[in-house]
Structures are given as C-alpha cells and as structure tokens.
Amino acid sequence: MGVVNVTPDSFSDGGETPDAEAAIARGRAMLAAGADIIDVGGESTRPGAASLDPAEEQSRIVPVIRALAADGAVVSADTRHAAVMAAAVAAGARIVNDVSALSAEPGSLAQAAQSGAHVILMHMKGDPRTMQDDPRYDDVVAEVAAYLAERIEACVRAGIPRAKIAVDPGIGFGKTVTHNVALIANLGRLKELGCPVVLGVSRKSFIGKLSRNEPPQERLAGSLAAALAGIARGADIVRVHDVAETRQALAVWRAVLEGGRGS
Ligand code: 8Y4
C-alpha cells in the first residue's frame, strides 16, 4: 500500500488544482513501482496535529481518489469522517482506512457498512493531539488485540462482513518505541483475530529512535527492515512511502528465503 498525502504544502506547478495533480502523479508512480493499493489521505495524523474540517479533507482527497480509481487502482481513503467515507466510496475508493477504527463519529460504522467498502481498523490510544503524552499499557499486545477484537465485533454487528475487515496495530499512535517493537515482534497475536493484518512503519519516529535520530527522509533503510520483519511475522499489507524500494527488498528477501529453488 503506497501512501499519498494530499496537503496544501505539496509542490504546486500552477495548474488549476495543483495539489491534486501532484498527488495523482505520485499515486500513478507508486502503481508503476508495484503498489497494489494507494492510500489517499488529506488530514495530518502526526503527533500534535490539529484536526481538519471534513469538508476541506473531502475536497482534497475526492479528486485524487476519482482519478486513481478511474485508472483501475484499488484505492483506500484515509479518513475518520463518515461523510468523507461516503464521498470517497462514491468516487471509487474500495477501502476505508480509519485510524480511529470507525469510532470517531457515531455514523461511521453504519456508513462503512452501507458503502460496501472493505475497512481497516487501526488501534490508537487517545487522539493525535495527545497520543504521545506518556502512553502506558500493562500489556500492549494484549490490549491492542482486545481493542481490535471489540472493533471487529462492532463492525460485524453493524453489518460489515468479517471478510471485509482488516486490522492494524497502529504503530506510533500512542506508543513508545518499546510498545512499537513489542507489537511488531508479536504480530502473530493479531493474526489470531482471523483478519488480514496491515502494518504502517514507514519513516515513523521509532525508527530514528532505534538508530541515530535520523529525520523522516533518512529512515528508508530502517523502514525496509521493519517492513520485512513485520511481513516475517505475518503482516499481509504494509503501508509505505517508498514503494519501489519496498518491492525490491521484498523480492530479494522472498527469493533467498525460498532457498533459490528456481536455480
Ligand atoms: C514520518 C512519516 C513520521 C509518517 C510519521 C509518519 C498509519 C495509517 C498513518 C498506519 C494505517 C504516519 C493514516 C502516520 N499511519 N493508517 N495512517 N496504519 N492503517 N506518520 O500505521 O504515516 S499516518
């Protein structure tokens, strides 16, 4: 899954909708590089980020979703708002990726159910504004698994088929480095929920903290290592900024794990 953020700070080439045009081009490049899914988001969920008006979020992401879906891409919409989910699916999104696991708005479960979309349920402790303020758990893996199990049941009660649900431990969302490492190392415990597991580690701050505090654009090597470790533990989908590099790492890692039986 390739990440496309549609934000006003993305470079402008002076076109009529420069942010959308640039985002569509990045999505197309990721598809050419081997992405199976493009995740389109308009709101920053970085630690400390303020929330965005849903109408503004919708106007950013819908044109990008429409263009990439028209190309035949499988598109996921990264949103916590029911109204944006409806517009995104109408524009061709087939997956709703909600970092609040469809809990942020009372209408989200019903909206996702009636849209027919697949859903990604992510664990987050607190909200993006406060989540990194000293997060604590007795047993992070057990607590994340129990939360996701509860959200799966809420989805099923709302009419979302189990076969359309994936889960995600929410790396970096209300977690310390120790919590993040424990979740990746024990991803097998989330597999027991019976749904595909999505993992987002790309360029996140725990990579810098495990290394030399590199800034996000210098975290590719650690991102690849974490993605492969997650895949080794059962991740079915990895959410990444660097699609070509992740494809290369995965191709080589798979070939050597298989022992070169093709030679
Ligand atoms: C540098 C680059 C530092 C990126 C931080 C970040 C996930 C997600 C995000 C995830 C799912 C992010 C929308 C955070 N992370 N959705 N979204 N899983 N399902 N931060 O892990 O990329 S945004």
Q: What is the pLDDT of residue 13?
A: 47
pTM confidence score: 0.95
Q: Which atom of ligand 1 is nearest to the CA of 201?
A: 21
Domain housing 63: 2-262
Cα(67) to centroid(ligand 1), Å:
23
Q: Residue length, the chain? A: 263
Of the candidates 33, 119, 27, 17, which has an alpha carbon nearest to the alpha carbon of residue 73? 27
Q: What percent of the chain has pLDDT over 90?
A: 86
For ligand 1, whether the C-beta of 164 sits within 6 Å is: no
Under the banding of pLDDT at 50, 70 and 90, the label for residue 49 is: confident
For ligand 1, whether the C-beta of 180 sits within 6 Å is: no
Under the banding of pLDDT at 50, 70 and 90, the label for residue 21 is: very high
Please state the domain count of the chain.
1
**How do residues 161-171 score in pLDDT, each as one tens digit?**
999 999 999 99
Cα(204) to centroid(ligand 1), Å:
7
CA distance between the termini of the chain: 30
For residue 10, pLDDT beyond 70? no
Helices (H), the chain: 18-32, 54-70, 82-90, 108-115, 140-158, 177-185, 187-191, 205-210, 220-232, 243-257
**How do residues 127-139 score in pLDDT, each as one tens digit?**
888 898 889 999 9
Q: What is the pLDDT of residue 137?
A: 97
Taking a C-beta distance cutoff of 8 angstroms, is the pair 10, 46 a contact?
Answer: no
The enclosing domain of 56 has a CATH number of 3.20.20.20
For ligand 1, whether the C-beta of 76 sits within 6 Å is: no
For ligand 1, whether the C-beta of 100 sits within 6 Å is: no
**How do residues 107-126 score in pLDDT, each as one tens digit?**
999 999 999 999 999 999 98
3-state secondary structure of 16: coil
Taking all residues of the chain, what is their mean pLDDT, rounded to a whole number?
A: 94
H or E stretch at 212:
none
**How do residues 57-95 score in pLDDT, each as one tens digit?**
999 999 999 999 999 999 999 999 999 999 999 999 999
Taking a C-beta distance cutoff of 8 angstroms, is the pair 74, 117 a contact?
Answer: no
- What are the residue numbers of the active site? 204, 239
Under the banding of pLDDT at 50, 70 and 90, the label for residue 263 is: low
Please provide the DSSP assignment of 135-199 as one string. ---SSHHHHHHHHHHHHHHHHHHHT--GGGEEEE--TTSS--HHHHHHHHHTHHHHHTTSS-BEE
